[in-house]
Amino acid sequence: MAEQTDCAVKTLRDVPIGATARVVKLVGEGQVKRHIMDMGITKGVDVTVRKVAPLGDPLEVTVRGYELSLRKSEAENVLVA
């Protein structure tokens, strides 16, 4: 939780559309974290944010050569540089 209150930490949610960021760390725990990792978002991988859904959430990103959608709340668990 400490990471989330720290404003200096950038998460996947803050990456502007069209930009690419490298994953530094995953926070959170349990099923959601494991699921994010299973889908290929792991430390050191490049993630490109493609777009936001018409109603403003979820996001669409490209990771490891395929398209993945995840909610903004879930994107907050992914710390990026």
Binding residues for another protein, rule: CB under 8 A, are 25-26, 29-40, 42-45, 50-58, 60, 64-71, 74
3-state secondary structure of 11: strand
Closest to another protein by CB, 7 or 29: 29
- Minimum distance from residue 65 beta carbon to another protein (Å): 6
CA atoms within 13 A on the CB side of 33: 10
| CB 63 to another protein: min, Å | 8
Whether the CB-CB separation of 77 and 19 falls below 8 Å is answered with no
- In the bound state with another protein, the residue whose beta carbon lies nearer, of 14 and 40, is 40
Q: Which is nearer to another protein, 14 or 39 (CB)?
A: 39
How far apart, in whole angstroms, are the C-alpha atoms of residue 12 and residue 20?
10
Q: Are 3 and 11 in contact (CB under 8 A)?
A: no
